[in-house]
Amino acid sequence: MSVGIDEISFYTSNYFLDLKNLAARQQIDSDKYYQGIGQEKMGMPAPDEDVVTMAANAALPLIERVGPDAVSTVMFATETGIDQSKSAGVYVHRLLGLSPRCRVVELKQACYSATAAIQMACALVARQPEKKVLVVASDVARYDLSTPGEATQGCGAVAMLITANPRLVELDPEVGNYTEDVMDFWRPNYRSTALVDGKYSTKIYLKSLKQAWEHFREVSSLAFSDFQHFCYHLPFTRMAQKAHKHLAKVNKSELTPEMLDLQIEDSLSYNRIIGNSYTASMYIGLVSLLENCKQNLSGERVGFFSYGSGCVAEFFSGRVVAGYEQYLHGARHKAMLEARNEVSYEEYLQLYNDVDPVDGGEHQKQQGTTGRFRLAAVSHHKREYIAC
C-alpha cells in the first residue's frame, strides 16, 4: 500500500500588487524584483480575508467531492495564526460542515509545518488506511514597509487530501531532517509583521538543504540523478534556482541551464505571481509543477525541500502516479489567477494597514473577497466567519 497526496487545491486573494509599481515608488529598477529575486506580483488579502477563509476556500472543492463525513482529521499548518489558543482549523471545520467526529489541530514551525502535518497524516493513514486526512496550509507573509523583505510578501492557502493509494503523488517514507536553533526569521507574539535577517536567512536555507540532503542520502537509496523534478520552499523563486544549483554542486553534478529549467522551472510559475505564502508555498509549487509541465509526469520522481526558519528543514521524495492529470484543478486555478484585480500602490497601503481591531468593540469588515467565505466581523474579540 502506498500513502500520499490524493488531491490538491489552492487559493489566493483576488488582489495583487505588481512589483513594478513597488519598484517605481522606491525609485529602483524593477528588474531587481523581476530578475534579481524572481518575483513579479504579490497577493494581498482583502479586508475580509485571513488564513481561515483562504484555507476554507482552498479545501472546499476537495470536500465537495469526498463529502463532509469523509475526513477523519484536519491538520492546519500556519505561522500567521489568529488565536494563541484555538486552532484556526476549528473555524474551517464549521465552514466546511465537517463531522463532529473529526479531530482538528494547528501546527507551527515557520514555513515547515505543512510538511510535518503531511508526515503525521501519512502515519495516521498507514495505521488506518481507510481514513482521509485533510492537511491545510495557509499564510499571509507580511514584513515592515520599506524593508528588503517587503517585495517578498504574498498570501495563499493549499489543501491536500492524504490517503492510501493516492491518485497524485506517492510519498516515500525515507526523509532527511535538519534542525538548528537560529534567528534568521521570527515573529514575536506582539508583532503582526515578521523580523528577518534576510541575507543570513538565505545562507541558513542553503546550509539546511545540504544537511537535510546528506541525511536523506543516509536513509534512502535514491541519488540526485534519480530525480526528474524538484520542489523547493519558495520564499521567492530565485531562491529555488540558487538552491538547485547548490544541491547539484554538493552532488558534483553538472547542471546545464536546460536541466535547471527542466527540473524546477514549472514549479515556480504560480509563486512568481502570488508571492511567499509561507507554509503553503512549496505545495503551491507542486501544484504549479503538476499543472504547468507540458510533458507527462507519470512515474517521475520529485524531490521536495521544505524549509522553515528558526530552523527545521526536511528533504523527502515522491513519485507522480499514472493518470494524475485527470484529478487536477488546473482550469479553476488558472481562472482564479487571471480574474485577480491589480491594486494601486495607495490601495496596497490601505490593505496593508487594515489590521485586526484589538479594542473588543463591534467591527464589521469591509467586503472585498470574491471567495466563498469571508470574515464578516470582529466583535467582542470574536471572529465571525460566514459563507457568501
Our finding on whether 233 is near ligand HMG (CB under 6 A) is: yes
- Scored b (16 or more CB within 10 A) or e, 264-277 reads bbbbbbbbbbbbbb
Our finding on whether 304 is near ligand HMG (CB under 6 A) is: no
Contact 253, 225 (CB under 8 A): yes
Closest to ligand HMG by CB, 310 vs 371, is: 310
Contact with ligand HMG (CB under 6 A) among 82, 195, 198, 384: 198
Q: How far is CA 70 from CA 19, 67, 382, in A?
A: 41, 6, 29
Task: Specify whether 111 is catalytic.
Answer: yes
Closest to ligand HMG by CB, 146 vs 225, is: 146
Query: How far is the C-alpha of 113 from the C-alpha of 280, rounded, in Å?
Result: 9
Closest to ligand HMG by CB, 50 vs 184, is: 184
Local structure of residue 356 (DSSP, 8 states): P
Closest to ligand HMG by CB, 4 vs 38, is: 38
Our finding on whether 329 is near ligand HMG (CB under 6 A) is: no
From 229, 233, 244, 329, active-site residue = 233
Task: Specify whether 79 is catalytic.
Answer: yes
Our finding on whether 276 is near ligand HMG (CB under 6 A) is: yes
Query: How far is the C-alpha of 153 from the C-alpha of 94, rounded, in Å?
Result: 29
Our finding on whether 148 is near ligand HMG (CB under 6 A) is: yes
Our finding on whether 275 is near ligand HMG (CB under 6 A) is: no
From 111, 122, 231, 293, active-site residue = 111
Closest to ligand HMG by CB, 200 vs 345, is: 200
Strand order in the sheet with 3-11: 103-107, 71-77, 132-141, 154-164, 3-11, 169-179, 312-320, 301-308, 229-232
Q: How far is the CB of 323 from ligand HMG (least distance, A)?
A: 33
Local structure of residue 357 (DSSP, 8 states): P
Lookup: cell for 48: 475580509
Closest to ligand HMG by CB, 49 vs 184, is: 184
Selected range binding ligand HMG among 168-176, 196-204, 208-216, 326-334, rule: CB under 6 A: 196-204
Q: How far is the CB of 144 from ligand HMG (least distance, A)?
A: 11
SS3 call for 162: strand
180: number of Cβ within 10 Å: 13
Q: How far is the CB of 274 from ligand HMG (least distance, A)?
A: 13
128: number of Cβ within 10 Å: 10
Our finding on whether 81 is near ligand HMG (CB under 6 A) is: no
Contact with ligand HMG (CB under 6 A) among 196, 268, 302, 337: 196
| 270 CB-near residues (< 8 Å, 6+ apart) | 10, 284, 285, 287, 288, 292, 333, 337
Task: Specify whether 362 is catalytic.
Answer: no
Contact 143, 37 (CB under 8 A): no
Residues near ligand HMG, by CB under 6 A: 29, 31-32, 35-37, 79, 110-111, 148-149, 151-152, 184-185, 196, 198-199, 201-202, 205, 233, 235-236, 239, 276, 278, 307-309
Q: What residues are labeled active site?
A: 79, 111, 233
